[in-house]
Structure 1
Amino acid sequence: MKIRRRTAAAAALLALLIPAPLLAATTATATPAAAAQAPAGAPELPAPTGRFAVGQEDLHLTDRSRTDPWAGTGPRELMVTLRYPAQGGTGRAPAPYLSTEEARLLLADRGLDKAIAPAALAATRSHARTGARPVGGRYPLIVLSPGFTVSRATLTSLAEDLASRGYVVAAVDHAYESAGTAFPGGRILTCLACGPADTPGGHQAVMGVRAKDVSFLLDRLTGRHPAWRHAGLIDTGRIAMGGHSMGGSAALSAMAADQRIRAGADLDGGLPAPYPAAGAGGRPFLLFGSAASAPGGGLNGDWSGAWPYLDGWKRWITVDGTDHFGPTDFPFLRDRFGLSDPTAPLSGSRAVELTRTYTAAFFDQHLKGKPAPVLDGPRADAPEVRFHNP
């Protein structure tokens, strides 16, 4: 299965960041004046809805047991943003959403650097505070993996909300799998995986690499000598993984490879054959995506093939009016930049609300044992949400 970076993914981001009348324009027609149309005030992501304030720390991890598969040299590296329940009023101002260079590379990868000012995207305001004092206790751990070529920052709204509800959340950037990610030493690692990924078997190869990344991350967070100073917050018996697009695809591979992962959530990521022989190993799995992920919808129609292999508790849920990036921050940011997309008319605020509600309900039920009635079927207060059982 090829990864169509310049088709589905590129079109989705174009729709998110450029008004429909401009979609036909090429980068040659974009002018610096277009960037000046960015609002003077930086966008602010929706506030978390849980009872806790949120702390945040970045962690750089190096797996010296593996040579990086995309660079072909040097050890495998990860950048991780950890968010956790924190004491209100502690810590410093939130870290930048992206560095300006990361934002520039993200936009340039899609031909949008002349249409959107990188600094405007980079300056997006979040809510977690760096250096905040944690609230004592033991919390389930959720690993979040982003879509291919995009940053872990694109899952900030979801990560902050889960942390505010009483989770430790580890959002991961996988080296050389994004348009550009900042690593220590002033390095910006770009997408060396993009070529190999767009070949037969490339999707499965990336999924396999990410599964190994996640197992290594769990070793470093829950082992005898953890890499994170607040690792004592983690309840090692309650671990789950979720992700968007490729990150969601990798959740199933990671579960098949690592029994520590008790539940998985795929947010609009394709699940191409061959499927893991053990399926999800009887563990719960959530499929949550756009209308294109409904049976026969096209983008992730292969969920129908994977569905029988999900042999534990499972749900297949789609949201009308969203596109492939619906579970990320992008729809909300699109609205804040004053842009529109007729193919994804659901408001960004509503897309964030629904993603948070259904994802948190899934993790609450399977990691905390809390009843989650919203997962039982359609509701009058969520007419956009559809349940499927092919």
Structure 2
Amino acid sequence: MTSRRTLLRGALLGAATALLPATGSLPATARAVTPGRTAIRLPAPTGPHPVGLRTVHLTDPSRTDPWEGGVREVMLTVLYPARDVRGRPRVPQLTPAAARAFAELAPAVHSGLPPAGTVDWGAVLTHGHLEAPPLPGRRPVLLYSPGGGDSRTLGTSLAEDLAGHGWTVVLVDHPGDASQVELPGGVRITALRGEPDPATFRTLIDTRVGDLRLVLDRALGEGLGGLPPAPAAGIYGHSAGGTAAVSTAHADPWVRAVANLEGYLDLDPLDGFGRPLLLCRTDGFAGAERLTRSWTGLTGERVLLADSGHWAFTDYASLVPALQAAGLVTPTTRTALVGTAPPTARLAALRHRLRAFFAHHTGPGSGTGL
């Protein structure tokens, strides 16, 4: 019988969005914590279970890192339904070192974000409790790949909600094209600047697919972070992460369903793609014409977020309106990044749609409620 590891060889390619220029719902409440700095909050998950959080570092000796050389490394955040969170602190969205790096990078990642020293990014807490004991039993795993130039932490709000409803959710960082990633050896900043050429696009997506298949292998084989092996898997991703998610599902028969949150699918043919597919887009995305064209011929559920921008699928959907309320982001910046839709209703609708999709195709986690 062919093993899963045998089938993990190779990776398909796709498309990605632009990364850094050449030179990170419920409306969050802004509050001053030190003179001249502001802290913001992430929206709470809605599931019946509290959420546990573990950080995992993986290496893949079979691959060479295309950006810096050496063995390929991947950083993960594993979120899961917890049995008990007493005495387990909530984990910051960014480590202190990553928060310092992001504060410097933020205005370059997205024009209009506040400059360094203005926002206390290190004070933003997740709702994940450090090393909380998990609920017993095996449950489906969902992998998340972020957009080009974003770190995995900007997918926290959707992931926590899925975990609170019973799934194990793995946020995957892709060192080299993420804005910043804290590895055991220190913080690594993206190696890319400006608009990647087609060859770099392909390298980026090929590398991401390799990362995702490594994580799938571990999650379905031996488990991640001390959790038991998963009985089923799904993938979702934003922008370049959506491209990589679909490419991974096309190549890997163990992926039961994939959700593409506004990622291009036009660099490689997807003939015969037969997995359940959720295609989500916004009405404010500048690349809407190309995006729609790249989805031609694909069968799947389609969702449109009205009055929304490209990053409305990320934590920016709640963080940016909070920064605007604090006077740190202009209405123009908010509209360009996430649109004008009320964050509460938009996040609730998106969370519900993802839960319903993955519950139908991967099986619900323990205690899942739609």
TM-score (norm 1): 0.77
Which amino acid in the other structure matches residue 5 of structure 1?
L
The match for 2:65 is: 68
Q: For the structure 1 residues 208 and 91, does the alpha-carbon distance in structure 2 shift closer, same or farther, using more than 3 Å as the test?
A: farther
The match for 2:28 is: none
The match for 1:263 is: 257
SS in 1 for 2:202: helix
Which amino acid in the other structure matches residue 132 of structure 1?
A
The match for 2:45 is: 48
Aligned counterpart in structure 2 of residue 228 of structure 1, from 221, 225, 228: 225
Identity among equivalent pairs (%): 30
d(CA) in 2 for partners of 1:309 and 1:144? Answer: 21
d(CA) in 2 for partners of 1:3 and 1:47? Answer: 29
d(CA) in 2 for partners of 1:108 and 1:298? Answer: 21
Question: Do structure 1's residue 336 and structure 2's residue 334 form an aligned pair?
Answer: no
1:11-64 C-alpha deviation (Å, 9 max, x unpaired): xx8xxxxxxxxxxxxxxxxxxxxx96543xx32211111111100000000101
Is the 1:2–1:201 contact (alpha carbons within 8 Å) kept by the matching residues of 2? no
Is the 1:327–1:351 contact (alpha carbons within 8 Å) kept by the matching residues of 2? no
The 5 A counterparts of 1:34-113 are 38-39=37-38, 42-71=39-68, 73-98=69-94, 99-110=98-109
Which runs of 5 or more residues in structure 1 are unaligned?
Answer: 14-34, 375-390
Q: For the structure 1 residues 212 and 140, does the alpha-carbon distance in structure 2 shift closer, same or farther, using more than 3 Å as the test?
A: same
Q: For the structure 1 residues 273 and 128, does the alpha-carbon distance in structure 2 shift closer, same or farther, using more than 3 Å as the test?
A: same
d(CA) in 2 for partners of 1:241 and 1:261? Answer: 7
SS in 1 for 2:73: strand
d(CA) in 2 for partners of 1:342 and 1:265? Answer: 24
Q: For the structure 1 residues 260 and 51, does the alpha-carbon distance in structure 2 shift closer, same or farther, using more than 3 Å as the test?
A: same
Is the 1:221–1:228 contact (alpha carbons within 8 Å) kept by the matching residues of 2? no
The 5 A counterparts of 1:179-328 are 179-185=179-185, 187-194=186-193, 198-224=196-222, 226=223, 228-230=225-227, 232=228, 234-236=229-231, 238-279=232-273, 282-292=274-284, 298-299=287-288, 301-310=290-299, 314-328=300-314
The 5 A counterparts of 1:90-169 are 90-98=86-94, 99-110=98-109, 115=115, 117=117, 120-169=120-169
d(CA) in 2 for partners of 1:97 and 1:43? Answer: 11
Is the 1:141–1:239 contact (alpha carbons within 8 Å) kept by the matching residues of 2? yes
The match for 1:4 is: 18
Which amino acid in the other structure matches residue 85 of structure 1?
P
SS in 2 for 1:139: coil
Structure 1 residue 317 displacement after superposition = 1.0
Q: For the structure 1 residues 76 and 91, does the alpha-carbon distance in structure 2 shift closer, same or farther, using more than 3 Å as the test?
A: farther
Which amino acid in the other structure matches residue 275 of structure 1?
P
TM-score (norm 2): 0.81
d(CA) in 2 for partners of 1:153 and 1:2? Answer: 19
C-alpha RMSD of the superposition = 2.7
d(CA) in 2 for partners of 1:209 and 1:300? Answer: 27
d(CA) in 1 for partners of 2:171 and 2:321? Answer: 24
Is the 1:101–1:118 contact (alpha carbons within 8 Å) kept by the matching residues of 2? no
The one of the two structures with greater contact order (alpha-carbon pairs below 8 A, sep at least 6) is 2
SS in 2 for 1:235: coil
Q: For the structure 1 residues 199 and 48, does the alpha-carbon distance in structure 2 shift closer, same or farther, using more than 3 Å as the test?
A: same
The 5 A counterparts of 1:361-380 are 361-368=356-363
Q: For the structure 1 residues 6 and 223, does the alpha-carbon distance in structure 2 shift closer, same or farther, using more than 3 Å as the test?
A: closer
Aligned counterpart in structure 1 of residue 352 of structure 2, from 354, 357, 361: 357
How many residues end up aligned between the 2 structures? 330
SS in 1 for 2:127: coil
d(CA) in 2 for partners of 1:171 and 1:129? Answer: 15
d(CA) in 2 for partners of 1:78 and 1:189? Answer: 11
Which amino acid in the other structure matches residue 216 of structure 1?
L
Structure 1 residue 131 displacement after superposition = 1.2
Q: For the structure 1 residues 91 and 207, does the alpha-carbon distance in structure 2 shift closer, same or farther, using more than 3 Å as the test?
A: farther
Q: For the structure 1 residues 355 and 332, does the alpha-carbon distance in structure 2 shift closer, same or farther, using more than 3 Å as the test?
A: same
SS in 1 for 2:269: coil
Is the 2:54–2:225 contact (alpha carbons within 8 Å) kept by the matching residues of 1? no
Which amino acid in the other structure matches residue 247 of structure 1?
G
Which runs of 5 or more residues in structure 2 are unaligned?
Answer: 1-14, 25-33
